[in-house]
Amino acid sequence: MTIEIRGGVELPAHREDIELQTEDGLTLVGELATPVSGTPVATIIFLHPLPTGGGFMDSHIIRKAAARLPALADIAVLRFNFRSARSPRGISEGEFGHGIAEGADLAAAVAFVAARGLPVPWLIGWSFGTEVLLKHGLQHPIAGAILLSPPLRRTSDAELAAWSTASVPLVAIVPEFDDYLRPPEARERFALVPKVQLVAVEGGKHLWVGEAQTSRVLNEIVARVNPSAAPLPTTWD
């Protein structure tokens, strides 16, 4: 039977509930999804939107990436709740850290990926997650970074400029109708990082609601992380 890949469809993967231990003594909850057959060709560490605004590891783009990409693109997906965030998986310990303390959460996720021997780690942040990524991502051995709907509200010019000399690619995917930063303003702010690949998505919105926007985002991710798997199929046998 052939099914259409859309909405909440969950494709086959090995899914494991995990816990991350931070350097300041907190336990964070999360999930690792890996391909059923064989070793992943790359790994995504997903950093979710603002916890105080309802963001968590099940925010829909992240949940759908974990549901689809292990099967469609041989990509391992690690998602977790930042400190203080809660989801059906559980609650991560600690208090909201305004993007600063969350640097320890990111470090715990990177350490977990290294301990498991997972290959080619990419960081992907969405909204608030991009602020954490831009502040702390260059401290870690990563293959690249992708920003979804970056607001750049907590990101200083100095933090942005640091990425101009990074040896890894930085991609910013900016919706045409974003609530916080639209493509014209994004081009001005990212002028500090001439190497950035800025993708303006016509008709896109901050939350990427709807299958068309979801598919666009996931295809942009796969085109960087495992280009041989792009574009993603729309059906599954």
d(CA 92, CA 82): 6
Q: Are 103 and 109 in contact, with CB atoms under 8 Å apart?
A: no
pLDDT at 67: 98
Considering its fold, how many domains does the chain have in total? 1
pLDDT at 24: 98
User: Which portions of the chain are predicted below pLDDT 70?
Assistant: none
Question: Tell me, what's the pLDDT at 1?
Answer: 87
Residue range 109-125, pLDDT digits in tens:
999 999 999 999 999 99
Structural domain that includes position 79: 3-236
Q: What is the DSSP letter of 68?
A: H
Angle between helices 128-136 and 102-116 (to 10 degrees): 70
What CATH number did the domain enclosing 101 receive? 3.40.50.1820
Q: Quick one: tokens of 141?
A: 């051995």
Give the global pTM.
0.97
pLDDT at residue 44, rounded to an integer: 98
| pLDDT reported for residue 106 | 98
